Amino acid sequence: MREKLLIDAGPLIALFDKNDQCHKAALQCVQRLTETPVTTWPVITEVSHMLDFHPKAQIGFLEWMTVGGLEIYPLDKHDLPRIIELVENYNNVPMDVADASLLVTSEHLKTTRILSIDSDFQIFRNRFRNMLVNEFEIH
């Protein structure tokens, strides 16, 4: 069975912001997917915040999730110590809570696949010392 595919905020923002320089790449990427990407509530919050300049884009993103555009991994308070540890360990990059939540999710799901616009995931390592392999292609 193929590993789950995580998705960071960047491609999601680009997907719903037609003026984003990565919009076309994000659209093509999502159209090629044969699986539902997995994300976390911190990522969803970041995307919603970044799309708040245009309520229709924000609502479009939320509606897309309701029809199965994303799978939301259920992190809980037991994951907070690990999130804190990651944010502290990578404070020079820096790592935000959304990025840490994706690394924690990668540990739970034992996956190393991600879609991200950020190069930070080339630096970050999960508990198993694995780098997440970015499958997002900008053409």
Mean pLDDT over 96-109 rounds to: 98
pLDDT tier at 50, thresholds 50, 70, 90: very high
CATH of range 5-134; options 3.40.50.1010, 2.40.50.140, 3.40.50.720, 1.10.10.10: 3.40.50.1010
**139 — pLDDT class (breaks 50, 70, 90):** low
Stretch 91-97: mean pLDDT: 94
Res 133 pLDDT > 90: yes
Q: What's the confidence (pLDDT) of residue 106?
A: 98
Q: Per-residue confidence at 1, pLDDT binned at 50, 70, 90?
A: confident
What count of other Cβ atoms lies within 10 Å of the Cβ of residue 43?
A: 26
Burial of 74 from C-beta contacts in 10 A (0-12 / 13-18 / 19+): exposed
Q: How far apart are CA 115 and CA 48, in angstroms?
A: 18
Q: What is the pTM of this model?
A: 0.96
